[in-house]
Every structure is written in C-alpha cells, then in structure tokens.
Amino acid sequence: NVAILDTNVNFGLRCKAGFDVGVQCVTHGGIAFPGQVHTLLVNAGDLSRWYNLSCASGISGTVKIEVHGPVAYMGPAAGALTPNVSGNVFTYSISDFGTIQNSTSFNILLQPFATAQDGDPVCITVKVTPLAGDNNPSNNLYTTCYRVVNSHDPNIKETYPEEVEPNYNDWLSYT
C-alpha cells in the first residue's frame, strides 16, 4: 500500500445566512506573579475568521470582559482596542465585527496585587453580543479561571499539630 498525498487542492468556502460571533478562547501570557504585569489574551469576534472568512462584516455588537480576583487593570495590550472601563468590567462597542482582529483586539494587561497569595484565583467571563441572528449563540459566553503563582521557601518546615500542651507525648508530623 502506497499513500498518495494530494497538495494544492483548494475548496471554496462561503458564508451561510447569518453570522457567528463569539469567544474562541481565553488564556494568559506571562506569569501571574504578584507585582508583575501579564497579558490576558482574549480571542473573540467573528469566528468565521478561523477559516479566513469575514461572515460578520457589517454586524455591530459588544464584547464585555469581567475580571474577578486580586489583579489591577494596567491598560490595553499592544495593538488592542481600548475598552470602556467600569470597575472590573471592560466593554468594547464594536461597530463592525468585520474589522476586528480576533486574536489581538481584546487583550488587556493585568497586574496581580502585591498582596496576592499563591493559588488565588483570577476568573474571567467574556460575553459577546448580538445573539439575534447568531448561528451559534452557545459560544457567546465563556468563563475560565487561572491562579496567581508565588515563590515557596524550599526550607520551610511545618508541624502538625501546630500547638501542643506542655508534656505532650504523641507524634508530631513534619512537612
């Protein structure tokens, strides 16, 4: 059996009626370490862009990012749009989803508070509208969390129980 590979085969793609705006993924670039800025990467907009189409051209709406956790907003990332900021909610009014760069338009810079502890969650909710006319409104809402990291003292020793009465005569567990 010989496998034959065919190359340079092109398939025509067309937009079907309607559009599909939504959220493809949300992640963070860099380490979420107290006092250090990292980038929240939000890939959202006209999801037909994945196939090099622009099926939501002329469609207006919003992208709303809500951030919960011990972080401060430091501004838009390089090449991103500037949101309307209200507390921990970042709203983008989009006049035409056909002009949006999904992978860069909604990236923001966040800085964990200096007091953030190892394991503190940072939770993100992204909502894209409109829903009316959207072929797949189930991908218009996305929630994810990640954790702040911090250094650990490799020489730390903990004892259980932490406090004992005088003349304690039982085992102590060390970690």
Q: What is the pLDDT of residue 166?
A: 85
Report residue 7's pLDDT band, with 50, 70 and 90 as the boundaries: confident
- 172 or 24, greater pLDDT: 24
Place of tokens 């793609």: 13
Q: Is the pLDDT of residue 109 over 80?
A: yes
Q: Is the pLDDT of residue 158 over 90?
A: no
The mean pLDDT of the chain is: 91
**Distance from the Cα of residue 56 to its chain's centroid:** 22
Task: Write the DSSP symbol of residue 139.
Answer: G
Place of tokens 């409104």: 137
The Cα–Cα gap between 118 and 149 comes to 5
**CA dihedral for 94, 95, 96, 99, sign (positive or negative):** negative
As given in the structure block, the two tokens for residue 144 are 């994810």
Threshold 0.85, pTM exceeds: no
